[in-house]
Structure 1
Amino acid sequence: MFAAPSNLCANPLLSAATNQPNINYRVRTRSNTGTQMDISGLDSNGRQFKNPDEMWREEVGDSQKKNNWYTNGVGYWQGVEASMDGVLGGYGHVNEPDINTSEAFLNTLFAGLFPNAGRDQHLVALDCGSGIGRVTKNLLIRYFNEVDLLEPVSHFLEAARQNLSPENMLVSADHKAVNFYCTPLQEFTPDAGRYDVIWIQWCIGHLADDDFVSFFERAKAGLKPGGFFVLKENLARSGFVLDNEDKSLTRSHVYFKELFNRCGLHIYDMKDQKGFPDELFPVRMYALTTELPKRVGSSRPKRQSNRPAVIK
């Protein structure tokens, strides 16, 4: 699959203002292969689909169609300039609020999931759909000693190499970009137990559902004990929205929850992005763990039995 860089969907048909149909969500039990979601959606031409299965049969229903899906997705981004405005769909000014919100979320996760909030540890991250290295340079490399980048668009990855070269960085020599993988997300298998955090931003929409699940199944083995995923992605208000131009799917929260369940992942925390233009999709961050974790940060003091308290 194509692990594309940031797809903020400037097309008004793919914005928060999209006139999507009213959806009644139901999840119908199917065989041991999973569940079938009875949620409807539409594409960027306004065509409506009764459910994801109908859409996926049409888009990736055989090997040739699936190959075309991913080839066309990479092809779209190969025609995009390797710049901040290019990878952010003309919305380069959202970089600052994006990074600020992500950093606050990451600090919360470090405090809750890592002993001593990750201090005095050699931390390693994987940046999926890294594009020109925007998220790595502005955020990840300041918190992680090593960052690997995964990006199938070659001229984006070459720009990332340049942007993250030592002479262009303001971090110590103990923090560096190490590996640059020019590989599609659906074909990537990480080294076992290498990563504390796998960061996946604005690229998972290019994966068909089966490849979404198989990617996380492989990626789970790449986490260290106690490691976790951060998925940051556009969010459909209901159902799903297919972008015919760049071959990506914007899923709703209900859709994501079903796929997380199929992957055996738990939502540890989530946070909505603030400060983006109204015409863009809402954006949500999910922290995902392979097990129901115990918080390692400071716990709330026990309430004394004779102390009045508000019942929530």
Structure 2
Amino acid sequence: MVAATHQREAQSSRQIKPYMLVAGRYLCVNPNLSATHQVLGRCRVKVRSSSRIEMEISGLDSNGRQFKNADEMWREEVGDSQKKFDWYRNGVGYWQGVEASVDGVLGGYGHVNEPDIKSSEAFLNTLLTDLFPNSGRNQHLVALDCGSGIGRVTKNLLIRYFNEVDLLEPVSHFLEAARENVAPENLLVSEDHKAVNFYCTPLQEFTPDSGRYDVIWIQWCIGHLADDDFVSFFNRAKAGLKPGGFFVLKENLARSGFVLDNEDKSLTRSHTYFKELFNRCGLSVYRMKDQKGFPDELFPVRMYALTTETPKRVGPSRPKRQLNRPALIK
């Protein structure tokens, strides 16, 4: 009876489009699924004699089908080279028909742009104060915006704090829109702050230049990577960080286990699921913070600051308010 009810709720939730994708800051809209999954989900970490760690995390897909663990789901979805090729092709293909606008990439929830940027900025300020001398002032800072979409986060946030920002986006018409959106004439920043490189490349195929970035920002895109590619991406990306650099991962959060979207081929993972993957990547969670101010029908969103080692604080313990920063660009 519980399973039948769960399936009906999952199916009915499809009336609200569950945006979960990479190509430009996508939200998950699936309230009944996330709430019900909290009841049904179970998770534990199992260590086998071969030292390979497998996650016994149950989950389900957007049609209500249940999986006993993540390994079962991944075998079905990307279990051979053709399936994996189709997984990534279908994921990007889904968004090739989406309008290159804020409302388009946010799944009709363009009004969450402002609270999203404000929360991200507060989180970034705290990290810069904690981890960089003088909060990063008087330094030439470089960031990578992964899954940059139309340049929404670069334009409204990163370009104001970093002298150079590179944008990584696999959907070509989103990236072309980003070029225009972050062109110098459309920004309220000095000429010392600019978008430099535009990479039309998916995460699973991207390798950054060694030691280029102070911060690698990854928002609403990691759900498209299968677990093995998740780990491979971060292992490559770690080499792209400068000494003392860090990752920010901002992502939708399942209340437990995982939720697979069959339409856009993306996965919403739980905090426990993320922690296990971070361990596999050799990353430490330095700080995390939940997004506030989003509509109740959206999945919870959490921000993680990830480091390759436990960093020493170089600034005061309490972040100071950043002054003389340009205002939010709406």
* 4+ aligned runs moved over 6 Å, structure 1: none
TM-score normalized by structure 1? Answer: 0.93
State the partner residue of 1:75.
Answer: 93
Q: 3-state SS of the aligned residue for 1:66?
A: helix
Q: Look up the SS of the partner of 1:26 in the other structure.
A: strand
2:322 alignment counterpart: none
Match of 2:212 in 1: 194
Q: Which residue of 2 aligns with 1:9?
A: 28
Tell me the CA shift for residue 297 of structure 1.
Answer: 1.3
Question: Partner of 1:140: helix, strand, or coil?
Answer: helix
Shift of 1:33: 6.2
Cα distance in 1 for partners of 2:262, 2:31 equals: 13
Give percent identity, aligned residues only: 84
Q: Residue 17 of structure 1: CA displacement? A: 3.7
AA in 1 matched with 2:152 = R
**Are 1:155 and 2:164 matched, yes or no?**
no
Q: Which runs of 5+ in 2 are unaligned?
A: 1-20, 319-330
CA distance in 1, matches of 2:193, 2:256: 40
2:256 to 238, 243, 266: 238
User: Which range is displaced more, 259-268 or 165-174?
Assistant: 165-174
Q: SS of the counterpart of 1:111?
A: helix
**Does 1:25 find its partner at 2:43?**
yes
Residue 3 of structure 1, CA deviation: 4.2
What is the alpha-carbon distance in structure 1 between the residues aligned to residue 164 and residue 244 of structure 2? 17
Aligned residue type for 2:61? D
Q: Give the residue type in structure 2 aligned to 1:261.
A: N
**Aligned twin of 2:73:** 55
The offset of 1:12, in angstroms, is 4.7
Cα distance per residue 1:67-102 (max 9 Å; x no partner): 000000000010100000110011000000000000
The farther-off stretch of 289-298 and 64-73 is: 289-298
1:23-76 Cα offsets, whole Å, 9 max, x none, are 332101135563111110000000000000000000000000000000000000
Please name the residue that 2:122 is paired with.
Answer: 104
User: Shift in Å at residue 151 of structure 1?
Assistant: 0.1
Q: In 2, distance between residues paired with 1:8 and 1:33?
A: 36
Paired with 1:205 and 1:154, the residues of 2 have a C-alpha distance of 19
> In the aligned structure 2, how far is the partner of 1:213 from the partner of 1:32?
19
Preserved CA contact (<8 Å) 1:137 1:164:
yes
Once residues 37 and 49 of structure 1 are traced to their aligned partners in structure 2, the CA distance between those partners, rounded to angstroms, is: 12
CA 18–146 in structure 1, closer or farther in 2 if over 3 Å, else same: farther
What are the equivalent positions in structure 2 for 1:123-162 lying under 5 Å apart?
Answer: 123-162=141-180
**1:252 and 2:275 aligned:** no
CA distance in structure 2 between the aligned counterparts of 1:59 and 1:184, rounded to whole angstroms: 18
Structure 1 gap segments, 5+ residues each:
301-312
How many residues are treated as equivalent by the alignment?
A: 298
TM-score (norm: length of structure 2): 0.88
- CA RMSD in angstroms comes to 1.4
| Contact 1:20 1:41 (C-alpha < 8 Å) held by counterparts | no
Residue identity matched to 1:7:
Y
1:158 and 1:247 map into 2 onto residues whose CA distance is 23
Conservation of the 8 A alpha-carbon contact between 2:30 and 2:299 = no
